[in-house]
Structure formats: structure tokens, C-alpha cells
Amino acid sequence: MPKFKTRKSAKRRFNITKNGKVMRRQASRRHLKASKTKKRLTNLKKKIEVKGFYAKKLKKRFGVKKAKVRKEVSKKETKK
């Protein structure tokens, strides 16, 4: 099966973290800022996570395998 080519437009809009989360910027920050409060504009700066089927679709498009999950070592295992 051939590899997918990454869409450059999607590459610019989405970031994938090392834990496998797909992050995106929020809308409504480009213009008409006078009617928005400073607090609202500050909160719109933050990136948010894409969830569900759309995130799964994007990961497949970017060629990302499964997320890297850190194993937590319990105290009992460390004593042995």
C-alpha cells in the first residue's frame, strides 16, 4: 500500500504533540477585536485539542502511529 502525502495546508494548521494529541488554533481572533474583551482574546490564544474521529483521521493523514504512552512504575515494582 502506498504512503500518503501530507497535505501542506493541514501541516501548517495542526500540530501533533509527542503524546499524540492533535492541537489546533482557535477561530475568531483575526479581526473585530474591539468588541471582544481582553480576557476573551487571551483565552483565544491557547491551542486546543482536536478529539474524536477527526483527530484519528488527521493522525492517519500525518502518518502518525499510536501515541507514546509512558508507563507509570508502581512503588511495589521499584522495591523488588
Helix (H, G, I), strand (E, B) or coil at 49: strand
Instruction: Please give the model's pTM, rounded to 2 decimal places.
Output: 0.71
Instruction: Give the pLDDT score at 61.
Output: 86
- In whole angstroms, what is the distance from residue 74 CA to residue 34 CA? 52
Please report the domains of the chain, with CATH numbers, ordered by start residue. Answer: 8-64 (4.10.410.60)
- Residues 6-40 have pLDDT tens digits of 889 989 999 999 999 999 999 999 999 999 999 99
How many percent of the chain have pLDDT more than 90? 60
Task: Give the pLDDT confidence of 48-70 residue by residue, as tens digits.
Answer: 999 999 999 999 888 887 766 66
Average pLDDT score, the chain: 87
Burial class from Cβ neighbours inside 10 Å (0-12, 13-18, 19+) for residue 22 reads buried
